Each structure stands twice: as C-alpha cells, then as structure tokens.
Structure 1
Amino acid sequence: MNESIHPTLVLYNKLSDLPMGKILFTRGVCFKAPYFATIRPLITGLRPGYGEVKIRKRRSVQNHLGTVHAIAMCNMAELASGTMTEISVPATHRWIPKGMEVEYLKKAETDLIAVARAELPGQWPDSGDFSTRVEVQNIHGEVVARMVITMWVSVKKKQTA
C-alpha cells in the first residue's frame, strides 16, 4: 500500500465533510472523465481498496423496459473501480481498464449503488493485472449485477527533458 495518501483521496476526504462536498468532488471527476457524467453519479465512499458510487433511476439511464440500462450499471461500476484504483496505486504507477466481466442477476428497478472492492498487494509489481470486484445493489440491498474489472497497472514512464 502507499506510504503517503494520494492527493485525490486527500481532496475527497476534505470535501466529503462539507455540505455538497461529495457532489463537488464527483463533478470534478466527471469533468476529468466526461462520459461518467452521463449517469449523474455521486461518489459516496472512497478509500484504498474500496469505492462506492450511487445513481438515481431516472429516465435518461433507463432501457425500453423501464429498468436501469445495463451499460449505465457498467459505467457506475467502472467509476467506482477506477476511482478506487486511482487512490490505491502508488504515485509511481498508472492504470487503465483492461477488461470487464459482467453478470446481470435481476432487473434494476430502483436507484442503485455500486461497491468496488479489491485486495491490495503488499508491494505493487512494476506491471501487471489488478482485479476489482464490483457489486451493484438496489435500494433493498439486493445484488442486481456483479462485475470483475481488470486494470492494467504499470510504472509511469519517466519524463525526459
């Protein structure tokens, strides 16, 4: 695990205690990665090895059945996993999503929460796969989808002057 706290986590911790702080933090993340804004997420939990994102069931995230669209769930899962990975890897490393396995278990008929979890290595290798598990739950605590998201983590390339 990191010896120091990632600057993104420091910012999240500072803002999350303020009124509308989690909204401001989430908007900043969505400004950096605009596609996530399409689901209007709210990052509600973040620490090394853990990320949590909520979305409301609104017309813009629904499919033809009136349930939350499968790709909206994938989007929130990737956001939870990605923000968690960002603050979990050492400052010397970078990451990018490599793949996602998805299992849809039941109709998503309510607001949703995605919880990403991962076992952090004692020491990060120079490069390799890092898997995160995400469960998407409805407001009743029932799991409606499960994902395994694989990130490719590697040492940042040195900048030359």
Structure 2
Amino acid sequence: MSHNPASTKPNKLQRIVSKCYSLPAALQSFALTTVFGRVIKFAGTAGVEVLELKGSRSVLRLKNRKKAQNHIGSVHAAATGLLAESATGFLVGIHLPDSKLPLLKQMQIDYVKRSTGDLTAVASLTDAQVTAMHTDDKGEVTVAVTITDSTGIEPVNANMTWAWIPKKR
C-alpha cells in the first residue's frame, strides 16, 4: 500500500509549519526557527536554526558561535548531537499523527574529523518510513542525517533512531 501524505490529516506541528510557509519567503526560516525553539527549548538556547522543513526532508543549521563551542573553537560534540537529533526529530514530528508520541531511542554519532565553521544537518525519511508512522501503532525508524561543515566536509557520521507509541488518553 502506497502512502499519500495528502490523504492524511495534518498533525498540530504540520499545521503550524504550513502557516510558517504561508509567510513571505524572507520570514519562513525565522518563523520555523522561532516555533522550533519554543517547542524544543534546548535547541532554541543553543541556536539551532530551521532552514527547511518540507515533505520528507529537513535542513537545520547551527552556527559556530561562542555558546555552542568547545575548548578548541569548533561546534561542541554535544551541540553537534543536538543538531542531528533536532533535524531528525522535527522531521519525525511533522509526520507522526497527534495520537502518537515520538521518543528518541538511539543516537549513533561517530566523530571522524574536526569541524570548521557552521554545521548544517540534512535529514530525510523514506516513503515507507512515513507510511509506517501513520499505519503502525508502535514502531521505530532510523533516520538518515548528513552533517557538513562550512568547508563541505562531513565531520560526523550520525544515525538517529526514533520510536513512537500511542499517547495515553
């Protein structure tokens, strides 16, 4: 059975994101970032920015600012993990029906190179993963996320596994 996102009722987060995209293009990222920072306070504190959240893809950025740096002046390892978690979690969040609760089950992050400058995370879901979120009461998905720095290298390899369960009524 093929999943058609247009045939499912948008969840609360999806409705808010749609409103952000109805704004002029110059305001969309700011509006998405503001909403995200209110929902996920830690990400807002760290300065995670939402550049894109459409369909089965999200693009988030974390600028290399003092509040997110480590002792060598690059983005802190924990902040890098937060960026990967945010990019995948926000994407899962717009697809999961309101009747289900998302839970981060596993973070796998291999730090392979020192990063330079800002970090950008791109996360994506497959059609099969989106379908499972709508049809299965409980389940999990491992969300692919690619993180690149300002020079275009990938300083980390990351996978985030998100589970969902029915919300208690």
CA distance in 2, matches of 1:60, 1:40: 8
Partner of 2:70: 63
CA distance in 2, matches of 1:42, 1:65: 23
For residue 68 of structure 1, what is the amino acid of its counterpart? Answer: V
For the residue of structure 2 that corresponds to 1:64, the secondary structure is coil
Alpha-carbon distance, 1:86 to partner: 0.5
Partner of 2:47: 40
Q: How is 1:1-161 mapped onto 2 (pairs within 5 angstroms)? A: 1=3, 2=5, 3-16=8-21, 17-18=23-24, 19-119=26-126, 120-123=129-132, 124-157=135-168, 159=169
CA distance in 2, matches of 1:80, 1:129: 16
The TM-score with structure 2 as length reference comes to: 0.83
Gap change, CA 1:156 and 1:145, over 3 Å in 2: same
More helix by share: 2
CA distance in 2, matches of 1:82, 1:26: 14
For residue 149 of structure 1, what is the amino acid of its counterpart? Answer: M
Figure out how many residues of one structure are paired with residues of the other and give that number.
Answer: 158
Q: CA RMSD in A?
A: 1.9
CA distance in 2, matches of 1:52, 1:21: 13
For residue 78 of structure 1, what is the amino acid of its counterpart? Answer: E
Does the 8 Å CA contact 2:116/2:150 hold for their aligned counterparts? no
For residue 147 of structure 2, what is the amino acid of its counterpart? Answer: V
